[in-house]
Amino acid sequence: MDAISVIRAKRDKNELTDAQIDWVIDAYTRGEVADEQMSALAMAILLNGMNLREISRWTEAMIRSGERMDFSSLPLPTTDKHSTGGVGDKITLPLAPLVAACGAAVPQLSGRGLGHTGGTLDKLESIPGWRALLSNEEMLAVLRDTGAVICAAGDGLAPADKKLYALRDVTGTVEAIPLIASSIMSKKIAEGTGALVLDVKVGTGAFMKNLADAQELARTMVGLGKAAGVNTVALLTDMSTPLGLTAGNALEVRESVEVLAGGGPADVVELTVALAREMLAAAGVHGKDPADALKDGSAMDHWRRMIAAQGGDPDAELPVARERQVVTADASGVLTSLDAYAVGVAAWRLGAGRARKEDPVQAGAGVEIHAKPGDKVTAGQPLLTLHTDTPERFEYALEALAGGWAVAEEGTPFTPTPIILDRIG
């Protein structure tokens, strides 16, 4: 079998056979299929799709490329969450310690930024000393000690996906539903968690721009999870506007700590609590309510222990960008929209994300948001603050923000979009 035949088959809108899928995943993992060949196949999948049999087999092949983890020795049931990626989506940071404070263990394998969306590991690495790379033994030890761990998938866990994940980011194939579903579910199934809650983003700042595509992705992933014996549910949540008031790395860590301290933006708190309740229910844990754990400080205690267990200093000063530029409102009235995609691309161009898989990110770069849709604004007041270490990036960030918000006359009716749009599973 050869890569060109597999590429041509999907290019010509044919189904890939089980044998073709098994071979190409194994050969890519071993380096026999080159990055440029897998890039061509990924683009063909983006354009021509896969049916459920192909997606299921692709997922199984990626799981078989590595090891499976086992958390059966833990005294608590395990539950995990995965977001399909958004702008300002720092939810994992307060969520993992919050669920741990309520009585479940959270083995949270996270990733790095994809395109205009932020990466949980990039955010946490802005904390001095914090380590994303843990051995399986270290991961299990942190789970036993603190109830929650957020770390990178090890080299042995779905290594085929690790290679393909980075490749998709730089080849314009992130949005392919079969590749999103198989990427997420191969890691989560191999991870060995007992329950899984999916946060499928919908809107301009998400990879799924409309509800129908998001529902298709959610149904595909829920089906893959349940077929593998993982109790899986999905929430479809709005990503037309950035979550919270920050998009970046250290900026989002600060906001997450505010949430754990009992404050923070209302939308971040609402979604964090809703996902925590779903995770606990899926794991069969019925006790302390997550909203109470934010108020009584127990979630913050678990955060501090989790960060310290991974080498981080929860009291350390977070990095701050050297340069700032304020963007002001160009009219007075009611802010009716703030485009998540525009803000995400601006943060990316400021240095919070990467254009190539080997690029570094700036810990302090990003966008600070001073008004959200529904707020009254006055011409000239600060709307956004841009943060970067490299001021030559401001021009390109401002280009991304052009037309990224709208202000209507005061008194114009405004109906906010609910955060949670649908539930599947």
Predicted confidence band of residue 125 (pLDDT cuts 50, 70, 90): very high
> How far is residue 83's CA from residue 92's CA, in Å, rounded to a whole number?
8
What pLDDT was estimated at residue 108? Answer: 93
Q: Which of 219, 300, 222, 229 is nearest to 258 (CA)?
A: 300
Place of tokens 């709208």: 406
Compute how many other C-beta atoms are within 10 angstroms of the C-beta atom of residue 290.
23
Q: What is the mean pLDDT of the chain?
A: 95
Yes or no: say if 206 and 214 are a contact pair by the CB < 8 Å rule. yes
Catalytic one among 126, 182, 183, 298?
A: 183
Q: Is 126 an active-site residue?
A: no
Please compute the mean of the pLDDT values over residues 298-316 and round it to a whole number.
98
Q: What is the DSSP letter of 72?
A: T
pLDDT higher than threshold 90 for residue 154 = no
User: 26 vs 35, 62, 169, CA distance in Å?
Assistant: 13, 8, 21
What pLDDT was estimated at residue 43? Answer: 97
Catalytic one among 163, 187, 188, 201?
A: 187
Q: Which of 166, 229, 194 is nearest to 28 (CA)?
A: 166
What pLDDT was estimated at residue 366? Answer: 98
pTM of the predicted model as reported, rounded to 2 decimal places: 0.90
What pLDDT was estimated at residue 166? Answer: 80
Predicted confidence band of residue 111 (pLDDT cuts 50, 70, 90): confident
What pLDDT was estimated at residue 269? Answer: 98
What pLDDT was estimated at residue 165? Answer: 81
Yes or no: say if 155 and 40 are a contact pair by the CB < 8 Å rule. no
Q: Is 168 an active-site residue?
A: yes
Q: Is 332 an active-site residue?
A: no
At 63-87, the pLDDT tens digits run: 999 999 989 899 999 999 999 889 9
Q: What is the DSSP letter of 45?
A: H
At 356-405, the pLDDT tens digits run: 767 889 999 999 999 999 999 999 999 999 999 999 999 999 999 999 99
Q: What is the DSSP letter of 352?
A: I
Q: What whole-number percentage of the chain has pLDDT above 90?
A: 85
* DSSP-derived pairing of the beta strands 420-424 and 231-238: antiparallel
Catalytic one among 80, 161, 169, 199?
A: 161
Beta strands in 97-186 (DSSP E): 106-110, 148-152
What pLDDT was estimated at residue 340? Answer: 97
> How far is residue 327's CA from residue 120's CA, in Å, rounded to a whole number?
26
User: 89 vs 238, 255, 330, CA distance in Å?
Assistant: 11, 11, 27
Q: Is 122 an active-site residue?
A: no
Catalytic one among 10, 57, 82, 201?
A: 82
Catalytic one among 10, 168, 201, 349?
A: 168
pLDDT higher than threshold 80 for residue 114 = no
User: 32 vs 3, 17, 28, 142, 357, CA distance in Å?
Assistant: 9, 19, 6, 37, 20
Task: Write b or e for each residue in 322-351: b if 16 or more Cβ atoms lie within 10 A of its Cβ, otherwise e.
Answer: ebebebebeeebbbbbbbbbbbbbbbbbbb
Please compute the mean of the pLDDT values over residues 82-95 and round it to a whole number.
95
Q: Is 187 an active-site residue?
A: yes
Structural domains of the chain sorted by starting position, each given as residue range(s) with its CATH number in brackets: 3-49 (1.20.970.10), 79-309 (3.40.1030.10), 323-408 (3.90.1170.30)
